[in-house]
Structure 1
Amino acid sequence: MTASEIRQQFLDFFASKGHQIVPSAPIVIKNDPTLMFTNAGMNQFKDYFLGNKVPAHTRVVDTQKCLRVSGKHNDLEEVGIDTYHHTMFEMLGNWSFGDYFKKEAIAWSWELLTEIYKIPKDLLYVTVFEGDAGDNLPKDEEAYNFWKEHIAEDRILLGNKKDNFWEMGDTGPCGPCSEIHVDCRPEAERKAVDGKSLVNADHPQVIEIWNNVFMQFNRLKDRSLEPLPAKHVDTGMGLERLVRVMQGKTSNYDTDLFMGTIHSTESLTGKKYTGTDEKKDVAFRVIADHIRAISFTIADGQLPSNTGAGYVIRRILRRAVRYYFSFLDQKKPLLHELVPVLAAQFSHVFPELQQQVDFVKKVVFEEENNFLRTLESGIRRIEDFIQHAATKTVDGQTAFELYDTYGFPYDLTSLIAAENSFAVDQKGFDEAMQQQKDRSRAATELDMGDWVVLDENAGSTFIGYEQLEGTTKLLKYRTVKAKGKEQYQLVLGQTPFYAESGGQVGDTGTLHFGDEIIHITDTKKENNLTIHFADKLPAQPTATVKAAVAKEKRRDTTRHHSATHLLHAALRQVLGTHVAQKGSLVNADNLRFDFSHFAKVTDEELAQIETIINTKIRENIPVVIKELPKEEAMQLGAMALFGEKYGDVVRVVIMDPAYSVELCGGTHIGATGELGQFKFVSEGAVAAGVRRVEAVTGAQAEAYINEQLQQLKDIKAALKNPKEPVKTVETLLQDKSSLEKQVEALELEKIKQLAATLRDQAEVINGVNFLGQVVNVSNAEGLKQLSFLLKNDIPDHVLLFVANIGGKASVALTIDEKLVAAKGWEAPKVIKEHIAPLIKGGGGGQKTFATAGGQNTDKLDQVIPAVKNILQ
């Protein structure tokens, strides 16, 4: 029976009992401050339980998408490690809102499992709440007595508050519950050990399959309980576990719910899910689980981000990336390729993913791509640290470096450290983070002097839209110290200098106080004041001032600003009307434009956008600027920027009413032809859902294109001017790859030959076959390969290989599984206590295999005797 058939049979069964089949609620919760995600089937019915809303049906049945990765219900770190925990899972549920209660819920759950699904009764156990004195709650005698009608009393077990009192969260509806557990062990094991002793004992084959929650109370913030207005039934049965039982599997991941994704992952990576390679198998399970949580959550409206629910999704995605990067040798984005597989699989039950498959795929790809850029170098950094550490702690400064330089969240560093039996100095990390904040704060502190006012009554006026020069006077000035330097701020009566605003940088230029020239290095706004930053104060501050803007810089800046309007319109035309400006920086050298978009803009899309903009430039469209009442401007279709404050009268910049109409206070060209040419320079991500492009126009575009052409000429010259330089480069890369493979093959052959010479050199020490050798290999991987080649040929072995690799000590220690079990020897412990001190380093690994590295090669010859002493 397939998972789809099992799911449908559940729905049909309860429909036959008078239940209305209802759709799953979104996995993302938007109107409940107590939850980020739907973590149980009852979430969407919470108002019914509280009596806040009258249900349309008193009996319903559904399959609900759930996510448990934060707060009380946090299964994330278990996922993939075992065979039955999940992040996103389906909760099959039947519900009674003030209708039937314990008797019917118990009878129907038993009927469905034993008569419809035909699970043998002798495999099932049930649990009932034993009571809790702290909450003044008695044993659930009612449920206990109803169960006696269906199952032998010795299979009814009492459970504590942790296992048999269900609570949605810290507050909210709750009540005693009665679970059904199934014993999936082979018959011989069931006869040897009574299944009741394994219920709720985290046994991987004795698992909870159904939970009947009898919703009677509401948990208040002070932890007290109050009765609900009516009694309800909230049942849940994890589809993943049910399918595992029905299909006779020992793991949820071996069912058809996950194997399609696992098979696709095998095809994409070239690796196999064998069930015997622990690290690879965990990676396959992590991927198969996490892609479901990621895809369905994005489809329901939650994009990955750095905060809140978005951070949870980003964390899940990055965990999956780290597993395939580390254990499946996959260095390119993988997860996005699985989205269509998942969408097709669930199209009949959760069609929202299929309807948005391209969107979700792009979001996932973008997140993967961004993380992979820093993951490889960051992992190399932390692995190198662990290999050479003198202690088993990642210090706070290193953890902060991984965060600040490589984008590693603290919890990812903690996870990698824990896998290597290392701790992380969180206090040191927090201190390093605070120090950075303090430095940033100090860098922005200003020591401002008082204003020296020359004319209290005069106001300041901007004349820079029409004029780049003007005669004016100095109204006031002050001295400012910033970053150890002294600057001067001047306010003029009227000014042609544009103050930084709307992404356009402030003007520079000169002030002429008679023969004295004051250089203006920047212009900014402070409330309604235009502040001119000067390199010195005038000797005669009351003299008449000639203010002159640096014309060439203003002209180039203006071109780039006008280009952002053409760009904004073209982005919306090509990518979609969801595009909105999120920030910009416009100066004389280039423009930078941030906008909302869910994925990387492809080269093809960039080319299309460029073509549209350059066509508008060649059309030489007049740039019309009007000041209009805001309402009238909006009726024209003018785009306003989020976060901007506009007055009753606004400035509207129009470049073809059918193409670009925006509210803008910046300076602009007279016609689009003045831009000359538009050329993209770069495209990238700023944050989840926000992209950034950089571009140039005019003379800067010409210079950029000429520079690129010159580079191409230089490359062709270096390649002896081939007719097809691209093919020549491709051939060179292929040759390089081929040579690298040859080197790898030669290295492997060298290792094999070395293994052959060492195979018969083991000495017997107290019944242990010990082989310890100083060997000549080129890298630490060679030690590992040598160990793995020999361990199957030498029984009861302890293999120890040491090498001087690039002036650093490297050690690999392998201990037979039988010796680990019989004598308690563990490779990481031996390395820590007996080897690491000699080589002044550290290491770790599995009980049967561990490696170490250190700075001291002088005592490498003492490593082998140190281990021999243990055996003797």
Structure 2
Amino acid sequence: VGVEVDVPENFLTLVAERHSKPTSSLEASSSNPEWEENLKDLPVTRAIYYDDAYQTSFQAKIVAKVGENAVVLDQTCFYPEGGGQPADHGELRFADKKLKVTDVQKFGNTVVHFLDQPIDQEIELVEGEIDWQRRVNLMRHHTGTHALIGAARRVLGEHVWQAGAQKEVESSRLDITHYREISSKERERIERLANQVILRDLPVQVAWMAREKAEAKYGYRLYQGGAVPGSKIRVVRIQGWDAEACGGTHCKRTGELGVFKIEKVSKLQDGVERIIFSAGEPALKRLNQQSEALAKASELLKTTPDKLPESIKAIVAERDSLEKEIGKVHAKAMETHVKQLEKKAISLGTVRLVLAKTAKRRGIDAVEVANRLKESDPNMIVVIFEVSERVQVVAAAGDEAVKAGVNAGQIVSEASKVLGGGGAGRLYFAGISNAGQA
């Protein structure tokens, strides 16, 4: 139609981001000009978390105190939020005091540690310790993301591309491009492949490489997580499985993940599928919860977990059979109720009137009763007051009754003046509900 549409190369990534919530209230602060200005002259923070992702404690010198409760250290084990991985938590110790590290952000080459309270101005040296359980969960989930994207590509096809990712402590997500919803069989195959990678205990290698050399060796799949600035890029490679430019912390071998569990697969957008997964202890926790639920269900049904599907199938069949029988009972009750009301019809000249006050009963619908009576006799006029906590009024008139001047809508309108509530309808049928207290 002559309209040019500029679609950015990272369109699907942007779609995934719009369906995700920021993980930190300070997420936008890394681009705060005031912070950048305050930190521009500070030395580069040595990233111990890159030197050794397994080191949990360290000593450091305070380079600067910024804001009300933040400090910059000359070196740190605390990983700053980035690349879809949340920041490390932990504590800083000095003298006999401990302060909690609640967030860590990186501004340029400077790492800022946010504390739960201000630190004394005279303090110059601190000991830091990260929350190892949080770190190792995030490492496993970050490594698991690489295992998962490799498995998804092998099951679904080479067109699969990472559209977004977010690592969390208890579970993580990976958004991938795919032209249809992932089936249950595909999900099972992907999970099985990821666990096979864990069982093979493949080495996870991390290396800084010249951009041109890395691209020549691994291709543009390096940039699954988005474009990476700089002439040198940090490449994380699961040997023979996946290679990406990545800035997170990772396990040394895939075997450290222990176990991998896909928890949920859903359609995020046309062409984008979201996979929620867990690895390590969180995955074991999910499996244990499922096992306990199966055991409880088996106990309630007096069967064993392996025979649970058969027991449930039998219960569902029995339920369906009972629902059919109940349906027949309701149908019979309806037929009997209609006949009883029809016998009570009063002749008023050329028309017959059924005026009834009934309690609300399961399987007896006042609207259907009125319609059946109207259809049974063109001269029939029906007015039903159905009483429960509120009052429902239903009026209906057959064709001949309408020709004789009966207006169902007008009947309901007059009733609503007395009972309250709102009424609506036509010549042949009308009703009001919630009409005053019963």
Shift of 1:536: 0.9
Cα pair distance change 1:624/1:849, threshold 3 Å: same
Give 3-state SS (helix, strand or coil) of 1:595's partner.
strand
1:614–1:678 Cα contact (<8 Å) kept: yes
Shift of 1:489: 3.1
Matched, 1:684 2:284: no
Cα pair distance change 1:817/1:527, threshold 3 Å: farther
1:460–1:530 Cα contact (<8 Å) kept: yes
Higher relative contact order (CA 8 A, sep 6+): 2
The separation in 1 between residues aligned to 2:159 and 2:417, in whole angstroms, is 60
The separation in 1 between residues aligned to 2:362 and 2:244, in whole angstroms, is 61
Cα pair distance change 1:738/1:850, threshold 3 Å: farther
- Aligned partner of 1:558 among 139, 150, 160: 139
Shift of 1:557: 0.9
1:804–1:857 Cα contact (<8 Å) kept: no
The separation in 1 between residues aligned to 2:399 and 2:214, in whole angstroms, is 78
Give 1:587-598 correspondences, 5 Å limit: 587-598=168-179
1:455–1:476 Cα contact (<8 Å) kept: no
Instruction: Report the counterpart of residue 423 of structure 1 in structure 2.
Output: none
The separation in 2 between residues aligned to 1:642 and 1:453, in whole angstroms, is 30
Give 3-state SS (helix, strand or coil) of 1:546's partner.
strand
- Aligned partner of 1:754 among 326, 334, 337: 337
- Aligned partner of 1:507 among 85, 88, 108: 88
Deviations 1:697-718 (A, max 9, x none): 1222222222222221111111
2:416–2:435 Cα contact (<8 Å) kept: no
TM-score computed with the length of structure 1 as normaliser: 0.43
The separation in 2 between residues aligned to 1:824 and 1:788, in whole angstroms, is 15
1:578–1:597 Cα contact (<8 Å) kept: yes
Give 1:564-603 correspondences, 5 Å limit: 564-603=145-184
Q: Which amino acid aligns with 1:696?
A: S
1:628–1:651 Cα contact (<8 Å) kept: yes
Matched, 1:672 2:254: yes
Q: Which amino acid aligns with 1:676?
A: G
The separation in 2 between residues aligned to 1:558 and 1:703, in whole angstroms, is 17
Matched, 1:712 2:301: no
Instruction: Report the counterpart of residue 111 of structure 1 in structure 2.
Output: none
Give 1:112-261 correspondences, 5 Å limit: none
Give 3-state SS (helix, strand or coil) of 1:639's partner.
helix
Shift of 1:784: 2.2
Shift of 1:593: 1.5
Give 1:202-351 correspondences, 5 Å limit: none
Deviations 1:150-176 (A, max 9, x none): xxxxxxxxxxxxxxxxxxxxxxxxxxx
The separation in 2 between residues aligned to 1:685 and 1:778, in whole angstroms, is 42
Deviations 1:501-530 (A, max 9, x none): 121111001112233211112223455543
Shift of 1:459: 3.6
The separation in 1 between residues aligned to 2:414 and 2:58, in whole angstroms, is 81
Equivalent pairs counted in the alignment come to: 410
Shift of 1:670: 0.9
- Aligned partner of 2:65 among 469, 472, 476: 476
- Aligned partner of 1:650 among 215, 233, 239: 233
The separation in 1 between residues aligned to 2:126 and 2:61, in whole angstroms, is 5
Q: Give the root-mean-square deviation of aligned CA atoms.
A: 3.3
Give 3-state SS (helix, strand or coil) of 1:754's partner.
helix
Cα pair distance change 1:846/1:668, threshold 3 Å: farther
Instruction: Report the counterpart of residue 32 of structure 1 in structure 2.
Output: 3
Instruction: Report the counterpart of residue 43 of structure 2 in structure 1.
Output: 458
Q: Which amino acid aligns with 1:458?
A: P
Structure 1: gaps of 5 or more residues? 1-28, 35-302, 307-441, 480-487, 859-872
Matched, 1:518 2:99: yes
Cα pair distance change 1:809/1:604, threshold 3 Å: same
2:45–2:75 Cα contact (<8 Å) kept: yes
Cα pair distance change 1:672/1:816, threshold 3 Å: same
Give 3-state SS (helix, strand or coil) of 1:503's partner.
coil
Cα pair distance change 1:785/1:552, threshold 3 Å: same
- Aligned partner of 2:124 among 523, 543, 568: 543
Shift of 1:686: 2.7
Give 1:404-419 correspondences, 5 Å limit: none
Cα pair distance change 1:630/1:712, threshold 3 Å: same
Structure 2: gaps of 5 or more residues? 6-11, 16-24
Give 3-state SS (helix, strand or coil) of 1:458's partner.
coil
2:373–2:380 Cα contact (<8 Å) kept: no
Q: Which amino acid aligns with 1:649?
A: K
The separation in 1 between residues aligned to 2:28 and 2:133, in whole angstroms, is 33
- Aligned partner of 2:210 among 618, 624, 629: 629
The separation in 2 between residues aligned to 1:625 and 1:586, in whole angstroms, is 19
Instruction: Report the counterpart of residue 793 of structure 1 in structure 2.
Output: 376
Instruction: Report the counterpart of residue 20 of structure 2 in structure 1.
Output: none
The separation in 2 between residues aligned to 1:506 and 1:443, in whole angstroms, is 11
Cα pair distance change 1:525/1:458, threshold 3 Å: closer
Give 3-state SS (helix, strand or coil) of 2:359's partner.
coil
Q: Which amino acid aligns with 1:559?
A: R
Shift of 1:752: 1.0
Instruction: Report the counterpart of residue 312 of structure 2 in structure 1.
Output: 729
1:514–1:543 Cα contact (<8 Å) kept: no
Give 3-state SS (helix, strand or coil) of 1:651's partner.
strand
Instruction: Report the counterpart of residue 814 of structure 1 in structure 2.
Output: 396
Instruction: Report the counterpart of residue 180 of structure 1 in structure 2.
Output: none
Shift of 1:571: 0.9
The separation in 2 between residues aligned to 1:759 and 1:601, in whole angstroms, is 57
The separation in 1 between residues aligned to 2:110 and 2:400, in whole angstroms, is 81
TM-score computed with the length of structure 2 as normaliser: 0.83
Deviations 1:237-260 (A, max 9, x none): xxxxxxxxxxxxxxxxxxxxxxxx
**Any runs of at least 4 consecutive aligned residues in structure 1 with deviations exceeding 6 A, and if so which?**
442-446, 450-455
Deviations 1:208-238 (A, max 9, x none): xxxxxxxxxxxxxxxxxxxxxxxxxxxxxxx
Shift of 1:813: 2.1
Q: Which amino acid aligns with 1:734?
A: A
- Aligned partner of 1:530 among 107, 111, 124: 111
Cα pair distance change 1:716/1:620, threshold 3 Å: same
